Amino acid sequence: MAELARVRVGTAYDVVIGRGILEAAADLVPATATRALLVHSGALPEVVARVREALDARGVRVVEGLVPDAEAAKTLAVAGDLWSLLGRESFTRTDAVVGVGGGTVTDLAGFVAASWLRGVPFVNVPTTVLAMVDAAVGGKTGINTAEGKNLVGAFYEPLGVVCDVDVLATLPERDFVAGMAEVIKAGFIADPRILELVEEDPASARGVGRHTVELIGRAVAMKARVVSQDLREAGLREILNYGHTLGHAIEQHAGYTMRHGDAVAIGMVFAAELAHRSGLIDSALLARHRDILSLVGLPTTYAGAPLDALLVAMGRDKKTRGSTLRFVVLEDLAQPTRLVGPAPELLQSAYDSLGTTA
Protein backbone atom coordinates (compact mmCIF):
# COMPACT_ATOMS: atom_id res chain seq x y z
CA MET A 1 0.00 0.00 0.00
CA ALA A 2 1.54 3.31 -1.06
CA GLU A 3 0.29 6.67 0.11
CA LEU A 4 0.76 9.25 -2.64
CA ALA A 5 -1.17 12.18 -1.25
CA ARG A 6 -2.39 13.48 2.10
CA VAL A 7 -5.05 16.15 1.95
CA ARG A 8 -5.03 18.51 4.91
CA VAL A 9 -8.21 20.56 5.26
CA GLY A 10 -8.72 21.03 8.97
CA THR A 11 -8.70 17.29 9.49
CA ALA A 12 -6.47 15.09 7.36
CA TYR A 13 -7.40 12.16 5.21
CA ASP A 14 -5.36 9.91 2.99
CA VAL A 15 -5.74 9.17 -0.68
CA VAL A 16 -4.09 5.78 -0.98
CA ILE A 17 -3.01 4.50 -4.39
CA GLY A 18 -1.78 0.96 -4.89
CA ARG A 19 -2.56 -2.46 -6.34
CA GLY A 20 -4.71 -5.11 -4.70
CA ILE A 21 -5.74 -2.82 -1.83
CA LEU A 22 -9.55 -2.79 -2.01
CA GLU A 23 -9.81 -4.35 1.45
CA ALA A 24 -8.15 -1.26 2.94
CA ALA A 25 -11.51 0.51 2.70
CA ALA A 26 -12.80 -1.50 5.66
CA ASP A 27 -9.88 -0.31 7.79
CA LEU A 28 -10.99 3.30 7.28
CA VAL A 29 -14.49 2.73 8.68
CA PRO A 30 -14.66 3.91 12.31
CA ALA A 31 -14.26 1.24 14.97
CA THR A 32 -17.56 2.44 16.46
CA ALA A 33 -19.53 1.60 13.31
CA THR A 34 -21.90 -1.35 13.51
CA ARG A 35 -23.48 -0.70 10.10
CA ALA A 36 -22.23 0.53 6.74
CA LEU A 37 -24.36 1.61 3.79
CA LEU A 38 -22.56 0.21 0.74
CA VAL A 39 -23.54 2.44 -2.18
CA HIS A 40 -22.84 0.97 -5.61
CA SER A 41 -24.45 0.49 -9.02
CA GLY A 42 -23.94 -3.25 -9.34
CA ALA A 43 -21.59 -2.71 -12.28
CA LEU A 44 -18.56 -4.35 -10.62
CA PRO A 45 -19.85 -7.24 -8.51
CA GLU A 46 -16.41 -8.74 -7.81
CA VAL A 47 -15.03 -5.41 -6.58
CA VAL A 48 -18.08 -4.76 -4.41
CA ALA A 49 -17.90 -8.32 -3.03
CA ARG A 50 -14.32 -7.80 -1.86
CA VAL A 51 -15.24 -4.58 -0.03
CA ARG A 52 -18.34 -6.23 1.44
CA GLU A 53 -16.34 -9.22 2.68
CA ALA A 54 -13.73 -6.94 4.25
CA LEU A 55 -16.48 -5.05 6.10
CA ASP A 56 -18.05 -8.31 7.22
CA ALA A 57 -14.67 -9.44 8.56
CA ARG A 58 -14.55 -6.28 10.64
CA GLY A 59 -17.93 -7.14 12.17
CA VAL A 60 -19.70 -4.33 10.31
CA ARG A 61 -23.17 -5.22 9.02
CA VAL A 62 -23.50 -4.19 5.38
CA VAL A 63 -26.71 -2.56 4.14
CA GLU A 64 -26.93 -2.63 0.35
CA GLY A 65 -27.53 0.72 -1.35
CA LEU A 66 -27.96 -0.31 -4.98
CA VAL A 67 -28.35 2.74 -7.26
CA PRO A 68 -28.63 3.36 -11.03
CA ASP A 69 -25.51 3.62 -13.12
CA ALA A 70 -23.93 6.88 -14.35
CA GLU A 71 -25.68 10.26 -13.98
CA ALA A 72 -29.03 8.59 -13.32
CA ALA A 73 -27.73 7.97 -9.79
CA LYS A 74 -27.32 11.66 -9.00
CA THR A 75 -30.96 12.62 -8.52
CA LEU A 76 -33.06 13.79 -5.60
CA ALA A 77 -35.22 10.68 -5.94
CA VAL A 78 -32.27 8.30 -5.57
CA ALA A 79 -30.85 10.30 -2.66
CA GLY A 80 -34.29 10.18 -1.05
CA ASP A 81 -34.44 6.41 -1.40
CA LEU A 82 -31.10 6.11 0.38
CA TRP A 83 -32.19 8.48 3.16
CA SER A 84 -35.28 6.32 3.67
CA LEU A 85 -33.10 3.21 3.80
CA LEU A 86 -30.84 4.81 6.40
CA GLY A 87 -33.89 5.67 8.46
CA ARG A 88 -35.36 2.19 8.29
CA GLU A 89 -32.00 0.73 9.31
CA SER A 90 -31.64 3.21 12.21
CA PHE A 91 -28.25 4.54 11.10
CA THR A 92 -26.59 6.75 13.70
CA ARG A 93 -23.69 9.18 13.52
CA THR A 94 -21.27 6.42 14.47
CA ASP A 95 -22.22 4.31 11.44
CA ALA A 96 -20.77 4.88 7.96
CA VAL A 97 -21.38 5.17 4.24
CA VAL A 98 -19.01 3.54 1.73
CA GLY A 99 -19.23 4.54 -1.94
CA VAL A 100 -17.82 2.06 -4.48
CA GLY A 101 -17.93 3.09 -8.11
CA GLY A 102 -17.43 5.92 -10.53
CA GLY A 103 -17.71 9.62 -9.81
CA THR A 104 -21.49 9.67 -9.87
CA VAL A 105 -21.63 7.03 -7.14
CA THR A 106 -19.02 8.69 -4.95
CA ASP A 107 -20.68 12.11 -5.41
CA LEU A 108 -24.04 10.65 -4.39
CA ALA A 109 -22.66 8.60 -1.49
CA GLY A 110 -20.83 11.61 -0.12
CA PHE A 111 -23.90 13.83 -0.38
CA VAL A 112 -26.08 11.28 1.39
CA ALA A 113 -23.45 10.94 4.13
CA ALA A 114 -23.16 14.73 4.46
CA SER A 115 -26.89 15.24 4.76
CA TRP A 116 -27.95 12.27 6.94
CA LEU A 117 -28.05 13.43 10.58
CA ARG A 118 -26.05 16.45 9.30
CA GLY A 119 -23.07 14.23 8.67
CA VAL A 120 -22.00 10.61 9.11
CA PRO A 121 -18.56 9.16 8.26
CA PHE A 122 -17.95 7.98 4.72
CA VAL A 123 -15.23 6.32 2.66
CA ASN A 124 -14.68 6.54 -1.09
CA VAL A 125 -13.55 3.61 -3.24
CA PRO A 126 -13.37 5.06 -6.76
CA THR A 127 -13.26 2.54 -9.60
CA THR A 128 -12.65 4.77 -12.64
CA VAL A 129 -9.82 7.08 -13.62
CA LEU A 130 -12.17 10.05 -13.45
CA ALA A 131 -13.33 9.21 -9.95
CA MET A 132 -9.81 8.56 -8.68
CA VAL A 133 -8.35 11.85 -9.82
CA ASP A 134 -11.38 14.09 -9.56
CA ALA A 135 -14.74 13.12 -8.10
CA ALA A 136 -13.60 11.11 -5.08
CA VAL A 137 -10.94 13.58 -3.94
CA GLY A 138 -11.49 17.02 -2.47
CA GLY A 139 -14.67 16.86 -0.44
CA LYS A 140 -17.18 17.91 -3.09
CA THR A 141 -20.44 15.97 -3.02
CA GLY A 142 -23.69 16.55 -4.84
CA ILE A 143 -26.57 15.66 -7.10
CA ASN A 144 -27.94 17.10 -10.34
CA THR A 145 -31.19 18.92 -11.00
CA ALA A 146 -33.05 19.67 -14.21
CA GLU A 147 -31.45 23.11 -14.14
CA GLY A 148 -27.85 21.93 -14.07
CA LYS A 149 -25.14 19.62 -12.83
CA ASN A 150 -23.97 19.58 -9.21
CA LEU A 151 -26.11 22.58 -8.24
CA VAL A 152 -27.18 20.85 -5.00
CA GLY A 153 -24.45 19.52 -2.77
CA ALA A 154 -22.09 20.03 0.13
CA PHE A 155 -18.41 20.24 0.91
CA TYR A 156 -17.87 17.17 3.05
CA GLU A 157 -14.63 15.28 3.55
CA PRO A 158 -14.32 11.50 3.49
CA LEU A 159 -12.40 9.57 6.11
CA GLY A 160 -10.21 8.34 3.28
CA VAL A 161 -10.04 7.31 -0.36
CA VAL A 162 -8.75 3.96 -1.64
CA CYS A 163 -7.62 3.84 -5.28
CA ASP A 164 -6.85 0.30 -6.42
CA VAL A 165 -5.26 0.67 -9.85
CA ASP A 166 -5.92 -2.98 -10.67
CA VAL A 167 -9.63 -2.17 -10.93
CA LEU A 168 -8.95 0.08 -13.92
CA ALA A 169 -8.19 -2.97 -16.05
CA THR A 170 -11.96 -3.57 -16.14
CA LEU A 171 -12.65 -0.22 -17.83
CA PRO A 172 -13.52 0.06 -21.52
CA GLU A 173 -10.83 2.08 -23.28
CA ARG A 174 -13.22 4.93 -24.06
CA ASP A 175 -14.06 5.36 -20.38
CA PHE A 176 -10.40 5.13 -19.38
CA VAL A 177 -9.45 7.78 -21.94
CA ALA A 178 -12.30 10.08 -20.90
CA GLY A 179 -11.02 9.99 -17.34
CA MET A 180 -7.59 11.02 -18.55
CA ALA A 181 -9.01 14.41 -19.55
CA GLU A 182 -8.87 15.39 -15.87
CA VAL A 183 -5.28 14.15 -15.63
CA ILE A 184 -4.29 16.19 -18.69
CA LYS A 185 -6.09 19.17 -17.19
CA ALA A 186 -3.82 18.88 -14.15
CA GLY A 187 -0.86 18.99 -16.50
CA PHE A 188 -1.96 22.20 -18.15
CA ILE A 189 -2.85 24.07 -14.97
CA ALA A 190 -0.11 22.91 -12.59
CA ASP A 191 2.13 19.95 -13.48
CA PRO A 192 3.64 20.02 -16.99
CA ARG A 193 5.43 16.72 -16.32
CA ILE A 194 2.05 15.05 -16.82
CA LEU A 195 1.94 16.36 -20.38
CA GLU A 196 5.46 15.11 -21.04
CA LEU A 197 4.59 11.63 -19.76
CA VAL A 198 1.55 11.49 -22.05
CA GLU A 199 3.60 12.65 -25.02
CA GLU A 200 6.32 10.09 -24.25
CA ASP A 201 3.93 7.17 -23.83
CA PRO A 202 0.34 7.81 -25.03
CA ALA A 203 -0.51 4.15 -24.32
CA SER A 204 -0.36 4.86 -20.58
CA ALA A 205 -3.21 7.31 -21.05
CA ARG A 206 -5.32 4.77 -22.94
CA GLY A 207 -5.00 1.87 -20.49
CA VAL A 208 -2.84 0.68 -17.60
CA GLY A 209 0.73 1.16 -18.77
CA ARG A 210 4.18 2.02 -17.47
CA HIS A 211 3.29 5.63 -16.56
CA THR A 212 -0.35 5.20 -15.54
CA VAL A 213 0.22 5.01 -11.79
CA GLU A 214 2.47 8.08 -11.91
CA LEU A 215 -0.06 9.99 -14.02
CA ILE A 216 -2.85 9.27 -11.56
CA GLY A 217 -0.62 9.97 -8.58
CA ARG A 218 0.50 13.33 -9.97
CA ALA A 219 -3.07 14.37 -10.72
CA VAL A 220 -4.21 13.39 -7.22
CA ALA A 221 -1.26 15.17 -5.60
CA MET A 222 -2.00 18.34 -7.58
CA LYS A 223 -5.62 18.35 -6.50
CA ALA A 224 -4.59 17.61 -2.91
CA ARG A 225 -2.32 20.67 -2.86
CA VAL A 226 -5.07 22.92 -4.19
CA VAL A 227 -7.85 21.55 -1.99
CA SER A 228 -5.73 21.72 1.15
CA GLN A 229 -5.45 25.47 0.59
CA ASP A 230 -9.04 26.11 -0.49
CA LEU A 231 -11.63 23.54 0.55
CA ARG A 232 -14.69 25.67 -0.22
CA GLU A 233 -13.67 27.11 -3.58
CA ALA A 234 -13.12 30.64 -2.29
CA GLY A 235 -10.48 31.35 -4.92
CA LEU A 236 -7.59 29.03 -5.76
CA ARG A 237 -9.73 25.93 -6.15
CA GLU A 238 -11.47 27.47 -9.15
CA ILE A 239 -8.44 26.53 -11.25
CA LEU A 240 -9.59 22.90 -11.05
CA ASN A 241 -12.55 23.93 -13.23
CA TYR A 242 -10.34 24.48 -16.25
CA GLY A 243 -12.43 23.39 -19.23
CA HIS A 244 -15.50 22.80 -17.08
CA THR A 245 -17.60 25.91 -17.75
CA LEU A 246 -18.32 24.98 -21.35
CA GLY A 247 -17.89 21.28 -20.57
CA HIS A 248 -20.72 21.22 -18.03
CA ALA A 249 -22.95 23.19 -20.40
CA ILE A 250 -22.33 20.64 -23.16
CA GLU A 251 -23.12 17.79 -20.78
CA GLN A 252 -26.38 19.39 -19.73
CA HIS A 253 -27.40 20.08 -23.34
CA ALA A 254 -26.69 16.44 -24.18
CA GLY A 255 -28.84 15.26 -21.28
CA TYR A 256 -25.71 13.91 -19.57
CA THR A 257 -25.26 11.30 -22.28
CA MET A 258 -21.77 12.59 -23.17
CA ARG A 259 -18.82 11.40 -21.08
CA HIS A 260 -17.67 14.07 -18.64
CA GLY A 261 -14.06 13.81 -19.79
CA ASP A 262 -15.02 14.24 -23.44
CA ALA A 263 -16.94 17.42 -22.59
CA VAL A 264 -14.06 18.74 -20.47
CA ALA A 265 -11.59 18.08 -23.29
CA ILE A 266 -13.71 20.23 -25.61
CA GLY A 267 -13.99 22.82 -22.85
CA MET A 268 -10.20 22.99 -22.48
CA VAL A 269 -9.78 23.68 -26.17
CA PHE A 270 -12.43 26.41 -25.87
CA ALA A 271 -10.62 27.93 -22.87
CA ALA A 272 -7.33 27.82 -24.78
CA GLU A 273 -8.96 29.55 -27.74
CA LEU A 274 -10.32 32.24 -25.42
CA ALA A 275 -6.86 32.75 -23.91
CA HIS A 276 -5.15 32.84 -27.30
CA ARG A 277 -7.65 35.29 -28.78
CA SER A 278 -7.25 37.46 -25.67
CA GLY A 279 -3.48 37.60 -26.14
CA LEU A 280 -2.70 35.51 -23.07
CA ILE A 281 -1.12 32.40 -24.64
CA ASP A 282 0.76 31.81 -27.86
CA SER A 283 -0.27 29.63 -30.77
CA ALA A 284 2.11 26.85 -29.70
CA LEU A 285 0.38 26.33 -26.34
CA LEU A 286 -2.99 26.48 -28.06
CA ALA A 287 -1.88 23.82 -30.54
CA ARG A 288 -0.49 21.67 -27.72
CA HIS A 289 -3.99 21.38 -26.27
CA ARG A 290 -5.34 19.89 -29.47
CA ASP A 291 -2.26 17.75 -30.06
CA ILE A 292 -2.19 16.05 -26.64
CA LEU A 293 -5.94 15.54 -26.41
CA SER A 294 -6.03 14.09 -29.91
CA LEU A 295 -3.02 11.89 -29.14
CA VAL A 296 -4.97 9.95 -26.53
CA GLY A 297 -8.24 9.97 -28.45
CA LEU A 298 -10.13 12.79 -26.74
CA PRO A 299 -12.37 15.12 -28.80
CA THR A 300 -11.23 18.62 -29.69
CA THR A 301 -14.14 19.74 -31.88
CA TYR A 302 -17.82 20.31 -31.22
CA ALA A 303 -20.81 21.54 -33.17
CA GLY A 304 -23.66 19.99 -31.23
CA ALA A 305 -25.49 23.15 -30.24
CA PRO A 306 -25.55 26.89 -30.97
CA LEU A 307 -23.58 28.96 -28.47
CA ASP A 308 -26.72 30.77 -27.29
CA ALA A 309 -28.17 27.48 -26.06
CA LEU A 310 -25.02 26.77 -24.03
CA LEU A 311 -24.74 30.28 -22.60
CA VAL A 312 -27.90 29.70 -20.58
CA ALA A 313 -26.28 26.75 -18.84
CA MET A 314 -22.97 28.60 -18.46
CA GLY A 315 -24.86 31.39 -16.71
CA ARG A 316 -25.66 28.91 -13.92
CA ASP A 317 -22.03 27.86 -13.54
CA LYS A 318 -20.73 28.11 -9.97
CA LYS A 319 -18.01 30.55 -11.06
CA THR A 320 -20.54 33.00 -12.52
CA ARG A 321 -21.09 36.14 -10.46
CA GLY A 322 -24.43 37.82 -11.15
CA SER A 323 -24.68 37.84 -14.94
CA THR A 324 -20.91 37.94 -15.47
CA LEU A 325 -19.31 34.82 -16.89
CA ARG A 326 -15.90 33.84 -15.52
CA PHE A 327 -13.60 31.36 -17.23
CA VAL A 328 -10.45 29.69 -15.94
CA VAL A 329 -7.83 30.22 -18.65
CA LEU A 330 -4.04 30.09 -18.92
CA GLU A 331 -1.63 32.97 -19.27
CA ASP A 332 1.16 30.42 -19.77
CA LEU A 333 1.67 26.73 -19.13
CA ALA A 334 0.87 25.96 -15.46
CA GLN A 335 -0.15 29.58 -14.90
CA PRO A 336 -3.94 29.65 -14.62
CA THR A 337 -5.89 32.87 -14.27
CA ARG A 338 -9.47 34.08 -14.74
CA LEU A 339 -11.04 35.73 -17.74
CA VAL A 340 -13.97 37.77 -16.43
CA GLY A 341 -16.85 38.93 -18.62
CA PRO A 342 -15.38 38.23 -22.08
CA ALA A 343 -17.07 40.10 -24.92
CA PRO A 344 -19.81 38.22 -26.78
CA GLU A 345 -17.86 38.39 -30.03
CA LEU A 346 -14.83 36.80 -28.34
CA LEU A 347 -16.98 33.97 -27.01
CA GLN A 348 -18.53 33.42 -30.43
CA SER A 349 -15.18 33.45 -32.21
CA ALA A 350 -13.65 30.95 -29.78
CA TYR A 351 -16.73 28.74 -30.01
CA ASP A 352 -16.78 28.82 -33.80
CA SER A 353 -13.20 27.51 -33.77
CA LEU A 354 -14.43 24.29 -32.19
CA GLY A 355 -16.09 23.37 -35.45
CA THR A 356 -12.71 23.05 -37.14
CA THR A 357 -9.67 20.87 -36.57
CA ALA A 358 -7.18 23.71 -36.38
What is the rounded distance in angstroms from the CA atom of residue 106 to the CA atom of residue 163? Answer: 12
State the pLDDT confidence band at 149, using cuts at 50, 70 and 90: confident
Model confidence pLDDT, tens digit, residues 8-44: 545 678 888 878 889 999 999 999 999 999 999 998 9
Question: What is the pLDDT at residue 223?
Answer: 87
Which residue segments constitute the domains of the chain, with CATH numbers given?
2-170 (3.40.50.1970), 173-211+235-355 (1.20.1090.10)
Mean pLDDT, rounded, for 111-126: 96
What is the rounded distance in angstroms from the CA atom of residue 67 to the CA atom of residue 357? Answer: 39
Question: What is the pLDDT at residue 37?
Answer: 98
Model confidence pLDDT, tens digit, residues 52-95: 999 999 999 999 999 998 889 999 999 999 999 999 999 999 99
Nearest to 70 by CA among 24, 104, 120, 34: 104
Residue 211 annotated as binding site: no
Residue 70 annotated as binding site: yes
Question: What is the pLDDT at residue 13?
Answer: 80
| HSE value, Cβ hemisphere, 13 Å, CA-based, for 130 | 25
Question: What is the pLDDT at residue 353?
Answer: 96
Contact between 205 and 296 (Cβ < 8 Å): yes
What is the rounded distance in angstroms from the CA atom of residue 254 to the CA atom of residue 266? Answer: 14
Residue 149 annotated as binding site: yes
Averaging pLDDT over each range in 47-61, 163-177, 309-323, which range is the top one? 47-61
Residue 289 annotated as binding site: no
Mean pLDDT, rounded, for 124-146: 86
- Asked whether the predicted pLDDT for residue 1 surpasses 50, the reply is no
Mean pLDDT, rounded, for 238-263: 92
Residue 127 annotated as binding site: yes
- Asked whether the predicted pLDDT for residue 136 surpasses 90, the reply is no
Residue 109 annotated as binding site: no
* Three-state SS annotation for the chain: CEEEEEEEECEEEEEEEECCCCCHHHHHCCCCCCEEEEEECCCCHHHHHHHHHHHHHCCCEEEEEECCCHHHHCCHHHHHHHHHHHHHCCCCCCCEEEEEECHHHHHHHHHHHHHHHHCCCEEEEECCHHHHHHHCCCCEEEEEECCEEEEEEEECCCCEEEEEHHHHHHCCHHHHHHHHHHHHHHHHHCCHHHHHHHHHCHHHHCCCCCCHHHHHHHHHHHHHHHHHHCCCCCCHHHHHHCCHHHHHHHHHHCCCCCCHHHHHHHHHHHHHHHHHHCCCCCHHHHHHHHHHHHHHCCCCCCCCCCHHHHHHHHCCCCCCECCECEEEEEEECCEEEEEECCCHHHHHHHHHHHHCCC
Residue 173 annotated as binding site: no
Show which residues are catalytic: 118, 140, 182, 223, 233, 237, 241, 244, 248, 260
What is the CB neighbour count within 10 angstroms for residue 204? 20
Mean pLDDT, rounded, for 302-307: 93
Of residues 225 and 261, more confidence is placed in 261
Residue 72 annotated as binding site: yes
Mean pLDDT, rounded, for 128-154: 85
Of residues 98 and 147, more confidence is placed in 98
pTM over 0.95: no
Question: What is the pLDDT at residue 225?
Answer: 83
Residue 34 annotated as binding site: no
